Structure formats: structure tokens, C-alpha cells
Structure 1
């Protein structure tokens, strides 16, 4: 292209390029690039002019060349597929007639902050420094699958989608298998459709604080097997649709504090087979949809009981600690909502978390709840023995109950036989009658004070003795079973 073919606006860009100087076409600093279709020729630059500069533009000795423009209207297609661009591209607040094509390109840096684009095709692009799409308005899909960015990817306050026309149904934001050297900063991001980050590797954090990811009835965030260096944050995020983090590796925090999950009738949060340091669901509204945490490993799980939905999937979930520290009675209802029914391991895991916190009383409450839940799975005829153990000694977790029963029966027997002593079997040979020790002889089968064998009650007192003997055997057997179970746990 000959230089004399350039328009005045293009001449300004051409002359500034060799020295990396900026060209600002904006009328006001706060103008909206979404209105760029109405901009006139005084700020219009053809895409082919930009391509000529970037691929074979002039240079000045001792100066660093670069494309630095603001508020330009770019017509035509900026097609840099497979190109190697050694100068930074900074195009802030620009309006693009057609989506730029950067498939397989190698770039030094790309800044499109506050621009309006119909899409961006940059799969497998390599960026040496940084890629900025902050505050952009992008109506078509952003294709960054397989991208390699040595620095960071910035998407804060950008609005992407919804995708319409012949591309309807395509994910608006595609970052699957991308490799980001530092962080993905996307707080305040809005995506109308699916955000796809499957298999991405991020050296630092993914920040989705205050993001709005909307794909009702579908998958809002598809992030299977994501690996991050530190945290994945989505505090105060609004997540309409499924959040899928299956198989992800997050050594720091998965922080959904104050977030809102909405996917009624489906899975709202799936974080199965994950390895995560800390999972924060602090002060979340009740999650609308199922939560699936199967086979995952967490160091800390922070969730209030009110956040759990009506159905959960917790099979194989392990965690070292749970916060905030609450009474076991507030944690147990969540285990009742397990979709698969009774899961002994879920109770054992919760009990272990309480033991880690040093709350043995809460751990025993959880173990007792586990046995009661197990009893409901047994045939009707097999529940009687469990019911007896529960009522008498709380399956060994409430041993003082047995003491209470024994004290009540001992008092009953002592009063009854004190008022009406039984007759001696061998008058003159029987020891002096003692109503308390006689009742103990009836209640405790392994102890004998010689009272039971020397006296024989009659009438209803005889039936009382039978009742005391049977009750004593039941208490002794259930207590032994409870003690044995406690020793096995230890």
C-alpha cells in the first residue's frame, strides 16, 4: 500500500507508529465505543492500513515502534492469522466493524480496553506480555482456546454476548486449554452464555468477583480440570446456570462468599473429584439446585447450614475441618439430604472434623445420628434391638442413660419390697432382708449379695421381680454392646 493513499486519520496513525506515539481520536475521555458505527471519516482507519503497519511498518532508529490509538473506527477485517507481530498493539476505546482474526498469531502485547467488537478469533494465539479486554463490549464469541499468555488476561467489567445469528449457541467466552502465566482478572465480568475454561492452566489466580455469568438451564461456568496456582474467587458472583468444576486443582481458595447459585431442577454447583485447599460458601443464599461434591478433597469447608439445597451429593467427600463451628444438630440435616440415601462415610467424615476441632461431644452426637439413620434402613423386625440400645444407652454414646434407668428401677424395687418384704425360702437360715440389695441382686446379673436366692416374692411382687431381672439383662447387654462399639472406634 502506498503512503499517499492514506486518509488524514490514517496518516496520523502512520506517522505516530515508528515512535510508538499515541493518537487520540476521542472527543471526550468518557465516550462509549458502542456508538462507533456513527463516527465519521475523521476518525476512521481501515484494517488493511493497520495490518501494513504491524507487518511491515516504518521504524526510526533509537525508537520503539508500536500501535497506540484511542477512539478509532476500524473498518474491514483486521486479519493477522499466523502473523508474528513484534510491536505492542494498544487500541483503546475503538470500534471494530468486523471481528479481528488472530488465530495462531504471535503478539508482543494486545490491549483492546473499552473497545466494542463483534467478536474476537484468537485461538492458539501467543502473547508475550499481556492481553487486555477490560471494559470491552463484545457481541460475538471470544475464542481464546489454547491461547498462551505469558503475563495476565484482563477481562474486568467486560460484557460478552449474547451470541446471535448463525453463531447462536456457541459459547461467548472460550478459554479452554489456555495457559496463562499469571492471573485472569475478570471481576465485574458479564457473560450472556457459557464461559468455557476446561483444562486451562493459570499460574496465579482467577478472579471473578462480582461477575455475572448467565446461562439459565445450561452451564454458566464450564471449568473442568482447571489448574490454578493460588485461588479461584467469585465473591458476590451471580451464577445463573450450572457451575462445573469437576477435577479442578486449586491449592488456595475456591471462594464463592456471598455468591448466588441459581439452577433449579438441575445441578447448581458441581465440584466433584476436585482437590482444593479451602472452599468458601460464606453467607450464600440457599443454593437453588443440587450440589455435587463427590470424591473431592478439601482442607477446609466453610458453609452455613442455610446454604445447603434440598439435594446434595457427598459420597466420598473428605475434608479436614468445617467452619463455622456449629453444634452438630445444625450440621446433621444436610446429611439427610444425600441423594443416594444413607452414607455411613458422610457421618464419619463429619465426626472426624469435630474431633479435629476438639469437640468430642459433637462427634458423639454425629455417631449417634449415624446409627439412628442406619436403623431406618433395617427391616422392621430388626429395628427393635437398635431401638432398645438407643433408648437405654444411646448406642453406647449416652452411658449415663443406663445409670438413670438403674437408679429409677432401684428406687422402685427398694420402695416396693421395703413396704412388702418377700417371704424367706428357709426361715431361720435366710440373711436379714435388705430391700436395696435385694433389688440390686435382681437388676445386676453378675453380682450376688445372697438376697435373691434367699427370698421369694409372691403376687404382683413376683412379676415385678421378673421385670427387674429382664430389664437388668437388657441394660447389661446393651451397655456391653455400646462399650464394645466405643472400643472398636478407638
Structure 2
């Protein structure tokens, strides 16, 4: 138990003003002497022991009725370890421009606002803590602490299963754990939002699995660095948030993973840079099964690795010329509308020259064959009132599918394509019928056939005879009445019959398919 007589002058000052919540400022006022990076060299006049801070927060110096106690300290060198694990703390903690000798533990604690701003902290453990107020680490440098019983991974800041009723402010903070987790916050609940902008830097994985962020996640201008060929810079799997802001120069050197994340409003990467794992084969952006209303992928430059949108669902998709890398996983991706940004202007992605060709190249970046991306794109064109563009997409789908078939099926597919465009170009059948009709009429009209039975049947008419051969259903009475003694003309008649069956079958199959899909 500490006695007042054992306290040093700065500790006594802190002890005396604690009941009134006044701040003790030990800074010299000289910029060079107040640099936190050099805090380990500050002398006894600027040193406060961690046990004094712990004692005050746990009620060693009672607060008079009508007063609001708080521990407020600036410019101090804090020696020892602040261990408040499991404690109930009724006073806010305000620490500014301080240098901590050892890590801080708030594991399982119940506390008020905790602010460690512009300080250097060798690890902060706040897993399972409940903070009635906000957690503020504005401008602080938090380095990976030692492996503990609670975490087997190196972690700079741990908020695993913590609940912060206010916001978590990490603006301008630097979280350093190159070999582990810069931020370990799986299951975090923060009602007031998580702010990681204004120069926020994380060396190590930012881990927010299953986090609940009704106030949103804001990482404008953040820099995330995760070394290793399969490094994950940000893991936000199965999280629930109101909005996700990765914009204004947000840069990730590692995978950004939003698998199964549900966002009630917008997800934006406007002006972001997604480099993917350095030298690795992991995706730059993984949004499989993500759900969002507005998805803005107008990047500053093309991602270096793949973008995975399999099974994602968004109402509005925004893209630009930098949005898509060489590989884009689109199977199961559902969207209601697409808007494109060209020269800084955002407009509808339909109705302008080259729109369909551009979208077809987009789908072509998806490895392998899957019908869903084509059908989704065609559905969007139909909804926008561009039925001709929708048919072009569905025709491209059949041509892509044909490459996956066996030789015989590919041959039949080529025939359907040439004759009726798989039912999406039925006018081709009319052209073929016209060409064959002219061919037969001119050829047969230059020769005289032989009657099957002398004196019976209608007079020979080359046009009607040709049509009778091409139309397999019914009969016009010509081909049953006349035959050819010339082998060449007889084979021509057989070929016209065969083409008639092929064209009729192709038209029926193609139109039926088009009606079913459209």
C-alpha cells in the first residue's frame, strides 16, 4: 500500500489534483525536450510510477462528494506496468504525450473513457473490456507487446470482444506488429464508430472478424502493411457495419478481406490503392458473400492482384478504368445498377458507345466459364431497357460455353451460331432460307425433272419445288410428283431437305432458349 510520504514530487502533484480531475502537465515547453520518442531519458522530475496511477484509479484517494475525479497526466515517463485487468474503474483516464516503459492491461476491465494520446505504448491489452465512453489513441505509437496468456500472437492493440459505447479513435496512430496483429479486435462492438484515418499506419494485420460497427469504419488515408506472400492487411470477415470508408489515399499492401461482411449503407474505395500481398498470389480484395447497398470501387490505380466478388450482393456498383485487375472473380455477383466514372464524371454505364464490349471484357477476366455473370449482366441491360445489348451478352455466353463442350457438341454449337445466333439472331435463318431458295430456284429452273407418274400431279415450278424441299412440315405437292435423273441435282435436293431440317430445328431450339432465358 502506497503512503503519501513515499511519493515523488510529480506523483504527489498527481495525487493532490486527482479528486478534482485537474491535469498535471510535466512538459517543459521546449519541443526538443518534449519528444515522446526520447521519453526513456526523462529524469525523476518527469517520472511517475505505474503503481501510483493504478492506486488512484482503484480508489486509493477518495473523491469528495460533488467532485468528479479523473486521472489526467501529460509529458510523463511512466515506469512499471499499468495492470488493471478485471478492475472496475469509475474515473476517466487522460494521458497525453507520455512514454510508457511497459504495456498497459485493461483486459476484462469496466471503465470510463480511456485516452492515451500522442504517447508511446509498448502494447495495450483491452480484450473483453467494457468502456463506457470512448477509447482515444490519437497520434499514439503502440508497439507489439509480449505474448500473453490471452494472446498467443504478437499484438500491438487488442480489443477482442471489447465493447466501447463511444467511438474508438485511432486517427494518426501507428500500430506496429510486423510479425503479428497490429489490431486484434475480433468481436469488437463499438457504437460510436471506429476511426482510423488522418495518417493511421498499421504494420501487421488489422483483424476485425465478426466486429459490430453500427457507427461505421472510417479508414480514409490509412496505410496498411502486411508482409509476406499471403499477407492479409485487413480481415473484416462476417462483420456488421453501417458504412465502410476506404478512400482518400487508403493504401493496403496485403489482402483486404470482407468475406461475408454486411453493410447497411456504402462501401467505398474511392481513390484507394490495393496492392495485394507483396509478391504473392493472394487477392488484393476479397468480398465474397459481402452485402452492401452502395459499392464504390473507383480506385486510384489498378489492383496488382485479383478482385474476388463471388456471391456478393450490392444495389449499386461504381467503377472506373482502374477498378479491375487481370483476374476478377464474378460468379454469383449480383448488382442492381452500374455507374461508371469517366474523367471525374459519374454516369450510367449503359447507352454509350463500347458499353457492351467493355462489360464483356470485364466478364472475360473471370477465370473459367460460369453462366451467372453473363445472365446477371443481361438482366441489368434488360432492366435498363437495352434488350439488344442483353441479347449480345447472352450470345457471348453461349459462345463461351461452347469452348467447354466436346467436339460434336461444339460443331452443333457452331451451326446454331451461324444459322440463328443461338436464337438471339433469328434473322440469320431468314437470310439462309433466302439464299437457299434462290440457289434451288435458279438451279432447278435450268433443268427439267421427270414425273413420278406420267400425266399426274401439278406442273413443275422451281420456286415452289425448292420451298417444298426446305419446309419439312406439311407439303406443297412438288417433291412427291417430280424427281431427278441427274445425280448432282438429286444430291442438291437431299442437301436442301437436310438444311431445311437443320434450320427449322435451330430456329425452334434457339427461340425456345431465348424465351426461357428472357
Please tell me the TM-score bracket, short chain as reference.
0.7 to 0.9
Where does residue 361 of structure 1 map in the other structure? 388
Deviation at 1:238, TM superposition (A): 1.6
Q: In the alignment, does 2:283 pair up with 1:267?
A: yes
Q: What SS does the corresponding residue of 1:111 show, helix, strand or coil? A: strand
Describe the superposition over 1:159-197 as per-residue Cα deviations: whole angstroms up to 9, x where unpaired. 11135xxxxx33121111111112001113211111111
Deviation at 1:157, TM superposition (A): 1.6
1:320 to 336, 340, 352: 336
Q: Distance in 2 between matches of 1:243 and 1:283?
A: 14
Where does residue 256 of structure 2 map in the other structure? 243
Where does residue 8 of structure 1 map in the other structure? 9
1:155 to 170, 181, 190: 170
Deviation at 1:63, TM superposition (A): 2.9
Q: Distance in 2 between matches of 1:178 and 1:297?
A: 24
Aligned 1:110-125 pairs, distance under 5 A: 110-125=114-129
Q: Distance in 2 between matches of 1:183 and 1:201?
A: 9
Where does residue 406 of structure 1 map in the other structure? 433
Q: What SS does the corresponding residue of 2:281 show, helix, strand or coil? A: strand
Deviation at 1:388, TM superposition (A): 0.5
Q: Distance in 2 between matches of 1:294 and 1:448?
A: 53
Q: What SS does the corresponding residue of 1:276 show, helix, strand or coil? A: strand
Where does residue 181 of structure 1 map in the other structure? 191
Q: In the alignment, does 2:246 pair up with 1:234?
A: yes
Q: In the alignment, does 2:212 pair up with 1:196?
A: no
Q: In the alignment, does 2:224 pair up with 1:210?
A: no
Deviation at 1:154, TM superposition (A): 0.7
Count the aligned residue pairs: 482
Instruction: State the TM-score, normalized to the length of structure 1.
Output: 0.88
Describe the superposition over 1:243-282 as per-residue Cα deviations: whole angstroms up to 9, x where unpaired. 2322222222222233213123123332223333333222
Q: Distance in 1 between matches of 2:298 and 2:434?
A: 47
Q: What SS does the corresponding residue of 2:18 show, helix, strand or coil? A: helix
Q: 1:284 to 1:369 in 2, by over 3 A?
A: farther
Describe the superposition over 1:213-259 as per-residue Cα deviations: whole angstroms up to 9, x where unpaired. 1113222112222122x112212322222223222222222222332
Q: Is the 8 A contact 2:19 2:68 kept in 1?
A: yes
Deviation at 1:335, TM superposition (A): 3.9
Q: Distance in 2 between matches of 1:413 and 1:305?
A: 53
Q: Distance in 1 between matches of 2:296 and 2:169?
A: 24
Q: Distance in 2 between matches of 1:11 and 1:84?
A: 24
Q: In the alignment, does 2:394 pair up with 1:378?
A: no
Deviates more, 1:474-483 or 1:274-283: 274-283
Deviation at 1:445, TM superposition (A): 4.0
- Structure 2, gaps ≥5 residues long: 145-155, 341-348
Cα RMSD between the aligned structures? 3.0
Where does residue 308 of structure 1 map in the other structure? 324
Q: Distance in 2 between matches of 1:401 and 1:71?
A: 83
Q: Distance in 1 between matches of 2:36 and 2:289?
A: 43
Deviation at 1:357, TM superposition (A): 2.8
Q: Is the 8 A contact 1:214 1:241 kept in 2?
A: yes
1:45 to 44, 48, 68: 48
- Structure 1, gaps ≥5 residues long: 164-168
Q: Is the 8 A contact 2:208 2:235 kept in 1?
A: yes
Q: Distance in 2 between matches of 1:306 and 1:360?
A: 28
Deviation at 1:69, TM superposition (A): 2.5
Q: 1:306 to 1:372 in 2, by over 3 A?
A: farther
Q: Distance in 2 between matches of 1:357 and 1:113?
A: 52
Q: Is the 8 A contact 1:311 1:338 kept in 2?
A: yes
Q: Is the 8 A contact 1:110 1:132 kept in 2?
A: yes
Where does residue 66 of structure 2 map in the other structure? 62
Describe the superposition over 1:439-489 as per-residue Cα deviations: whole angstroms up to 9, x where unpaired. 444444447666666766758666555444433332222111111212323
Q: Is the 8 A contact 2:276 2:283 kept in 1?
A: no
1:474 to 498, 502, 509: 502
Instruction: State the TM-score, normalized to the length of structure 2.
Output: 0.83
Q: What SS does the corresponding residue of 1:15 show, helix, strand or coil? A: helix
Describe the superposition over 1:12-47 as per-residue Cα deviations: whole angstroms up to 9, x where unpaired. 333332222233333157964223223333322222
Q: Distance in 2 between matches of 1:126 and 1:369?
A: 56
Describe the superposition over 1:82-112 as per-residue Cα deviations: whole angstroms up to 9, x where unpaired. 2222121111222111111212222110111
Q: Is the 8 A contact 2:276 2:285 kept in 1?
A: no
